[in-house]
Amino acid sequence: MNKHAGAVSELVDQLGRLPGVGRKSAERLAFHLLRVPEAEALALADAIRKVRKDVQYCSICFNLCESSRCAICSDDSRDATRLCVVEQPRDLMSLEQSQAFKGVYHVLLGRIAPLDGIGPDQLTIDSLIDRVRTGNFVEVIMATNPTVEGDGTSLYISNLLSEFPVQITRLARGITAGSVLEYANREMIADALTGRQKF
């Protein structure tokens, strides 16, 4: 028996569709939105509307932006000869936050995942190939996630790119800074050994 008012019930349902938000959390969030000053609740509603109205994909790299070209593609100080390929805009953001990469990006908007019915055609791979064909890149860095699907996507793309005179690299794997070997799993140790570097 649902004793929520209709609008509350609807809000709980909608909040419950967010990732990681269960029924109980959705109720808590709904009551929060009912309790806060009206302006604060409406600010969230407006932010959702605005993001869907204003935000689009960069016509070059498919990063998120509010014009046809994103801040990175518009920035002349970036190294336009190095291209970093990521799955999602948020991956791009993580890389940017590290401030370790000064080149440009290409966002695939997903990874090849046959089990989820996502094939190469649903990603921005065609645009990537076009960019590499027509651009002056010396290096393409595959920075997909270190998962089976991410690795598979990188492998697929690197095969397509092998016809171009461009170096293809991928992110280093190994033990993580600040971790202890005792708790590293077998794969991490194997990666670290395979990719060991000279002192």
Using a 10 angstrom Cβ sphere, with 0-12 exposed, 13-18 middle and 19 or more buried, the burial of residue 142 is buried
70 makes contact with its own copies (CB under 8 A): yes
65 makes contact with its own copies (CB under 8 A): yes
155 makes contact with its own copies (CB under 8 A): no
131 makes contact with its own copies (CB under 8 A): no
7 makes contact with its own copies (CB under 8 A): yes
51 makes contact with its own copies (CB under 8 A): yes
114 makes contact with its own copies (CB under 8 A): no
Distance CA 32, CA 105 (A): 39
Distance CA 146, CA 83 (A): 18
43 makes contact with its own copies (CB under 8 A): yes
How many C-beta atoms surround the C-beta of residue 109 within 10 A? 17
Tell me which residues in 89-108 interact with its own copies (CB under 8 A): 89-90, 92-93, 96-97, 99
125 makes contact with its own copies (CB under 8 A): no
Half-sphere exposure of 92 (CA within 13 A, CB side): 25
27 makes contact with its own copies (CB under 8 A): yes
DSSP 49-98: HHHHHH-EE-TTT--EESSSS-TTTT-TTSEEEEEEEESSHHHHHHHHHH
Q: Give the residue with the Cβ less far from its own copies, 21 or 160.
A: 21
Number of residues that bind its own copies (CB under 8 A): 56
Residues contributing to the site for its own copies (CB under 8 A): 1, 3-8, 10-11, 13-15, 17-20, 25, 27-34, 38, 40-55, 64-66, 70-72, 88-90, 92-93, 96-97, 99
